[in-house]
């Protein structure tokens, strides 16, 4: 088991990433955390900001009671802020915000107001610091992710296929595309560390076909590699059938059904991983408490299919699956950008 104590090399790693975020001496920098946050990440953020001469301050909120009977995992949408006005004001007025909440602010309801205030937000994924150290961002990753995002924004159709039987057609003409490379240097922007993703949120009624999760693909909500195939039929964004004989299919049926919410079955976002340093097999190396799974969302060449909330389509739900898949071919308007799990051309 890895120890969670302060290591000098981890302070150095945080310093280097914050330097990429253009943290300046004298800048007001907020560290947002909750009572269930990983303490070592909060401490490393504070020490790194102090080393850079920033005026660091903490915003610490008790983790709120869970409002539903189903375990909520892997949403990227923390509910810790609860629209507490002094908290929102403090974050919006800071030049730089380090997000150390458990779920992260990527899809938090308060995020648009905080970004509008001029803050730049770095969401530090709830990982063991060793993973963050291994996955420090670099200039090459930023350039390639930006290229992938442009390709997505210019595309009309995404198709996805695989030897296992995946055959999806996705209308991305009205989708909202984005991504992250592990740091944020512009006001009014959020990114997350580790980074390396190109993705989009499709508009309503945009996704149809078959998604086959094969052996070795990943259900990150369960922090589990699949041991048997699961076939999802998708009609106008919604999973309408879950076929499979093993435990993996049973677990998915159970978690989907637990929400009693049709919107939990719908697509949230789709995209692919860009980070050559991220590893598909990394989850085998960590205890579950040490691992949040952003690395597996970002490993180069994976196709990431996610279900749950999608503001572009006007859907809101706490049910969420993140499903990184190997060996898929992804094409934009007929041009292949990922070929059987390998990035192509200028993305490679």
Domain boundary among 98, 133, 168: 133
Domain identity same for 147 and 290: yes
Which of 165, 172, 190 has its CA nearest to residue 180? 190
Residues 121 and 155 in one domain: no
Q: Do 98 and 229 lie in a common domain?
A: no
Give the whole-angstrom CA distance, residue 55 versus residue 171. Answer: 46
The predicted structure's pLDDT at residue 75: 86
Residues 6 or more apart whose CB falls under 8 angstroms from that of 72 comprise 66, 103, 318, 320
Would you say residue 186 lies in a domain? no
Please indicate, yes or no, whether residues 116 and 143 belong to a single structural domain of this protein. no
- How far CA 117 is from CA of 3, 150, 190, 219, 285, in Å, comes to 38, 26, 13, 36, 40
- How many domains is the chain built from? 2
- 270 lies in which domain range? 137-178+195-347
57 lies in a domain?
Answer: yes
Tens-digit pLDDT profile for the chain (348 aa)? 678 899 999 999 999 999 999 999 999 999 999 999 999 999 999 999 999 999 999 999 999 998 889 998 888 889 999 999 999 999 999 999 999 999 999 989 999 999 999 999 999 999 999 999 999 999 899 999 999 999 999 999 999 999 999 999 999 999 999 999 999 999 999 999 999 999 999 999 999 999 999 999 999 999 999 999 999 999 999 999 999 999 999 999 999 999 999 999 999 999 999 999 999 999 999 999 899 999 999 999 999 999 999 999 999 999 999 999 999 999 999 999 999 999 999 999
Q: Within this chain, do residues 83 and 224 fall inside the same structural domain, yes or no?
A: no
Instruction: Give a yes or no: residue 1 inside a domain.
Output: no
Residues 70 and 152 in one domain: no
In a domain, 187, yes or no: no
| DSSP bridge partners of 293 | none
CATH number for the domain that contains residue 111: 3.40.50.2300
Of 133, 152, 170, which closes a domain? 133
Q: Are residues 151 and 41 part of one domain?
A: no
Asked if 260 and 150 sit in the same domain, the reply is yes
Same domain, 150 and 52: no
Tell me whether residue 68 is in a domain.
yes
Q: pLDDT digit string (tens) for 198-223?
A: 999 999 999 999 999 999 999 999 99
- Are 66 and 203 contained in the same domain? no
Task: Give yes or no: residues 86 and 24 share one domain.
Answer: yes
Q: Residue 288 falls within a domain, yes or no?
A: yes
Same domain, 154 and 128: no
Is residue 2 a part of any domain in this protein?
A: no
Is residue 190 included in any domain, yes or no? no
Write the CA distances from 215 to 163, 228, 249, 307, 342, integer angstroms: 12, 5, 12, 20, 18
């Amino acid at each position: 088991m890895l120890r969670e104590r302060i290591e000098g090399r981890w302070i150095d790693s945080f310093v280097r990433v914050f330097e990429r975020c253009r943290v300046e001496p004298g800048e007001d920098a907020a560290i947002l955390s909750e009572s269930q946050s990983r303490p070592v990440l909060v401490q490393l953020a504070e020490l790194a900001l102090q080393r850079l001469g920033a005026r660091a301050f903490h915003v610490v909120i008790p983790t709120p009671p869970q409002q539903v009977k189903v375990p909520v995992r892997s949403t990227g949408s923390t509910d810790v802020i609860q629209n507490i006005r002094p908290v929102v004001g403090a974050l919006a007025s800071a030049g730089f915000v380090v997000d150390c909440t458990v779920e992260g602010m990527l899809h938090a309801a308060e995020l648009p107001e905080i970004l509008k205030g001029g803050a730049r937000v770095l969401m530090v994924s709830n990982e063991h610091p060793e993973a963050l150290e291994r996955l420090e961002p670099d200039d090459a990753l930023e350039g390639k992710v930006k290229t992938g995002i442009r390709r997505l924004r210019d595309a009309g159709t995404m198709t996805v296929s695989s030897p296992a039987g995946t055959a999806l057609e996705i209308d991305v003409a009205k989708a909202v595309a984005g991504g992250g490379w592990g740091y944020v240097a512009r006001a009014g922007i959020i990114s997350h560390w580790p980074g390396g993703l190109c993705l989009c949120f499709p508009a309503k009624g945009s996704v149809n076909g078959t998604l086959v999760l094969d052996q070795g693909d990943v259900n990150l909500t369960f922090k589990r590699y699949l041991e048997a195939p699961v076939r999802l039929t998708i009609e106008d964004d919604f999973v309408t059938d879950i076929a499979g004989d093993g435990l993996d299919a049973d677990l998915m049926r159970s978690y989907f059904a637990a929400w009693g919410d049709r919107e939990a079955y719908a697509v949230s976002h789709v995209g692919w991983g860009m980070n050559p340093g991220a590893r598909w097999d990394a989850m085998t190396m960590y205890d579950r408490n040490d691992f949040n799974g952003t690395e597996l969302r970002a490993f180069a060449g994976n196709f990431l299919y996610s279900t749950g909330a999608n503001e572009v389509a006007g859907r809101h739900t706490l049910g969420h699956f993140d499903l990184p898949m190997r060996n898929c071919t992804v094409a934009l308007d007929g041009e292949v950008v990922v070929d059987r799990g390998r990035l192509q051309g200028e993305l490679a």
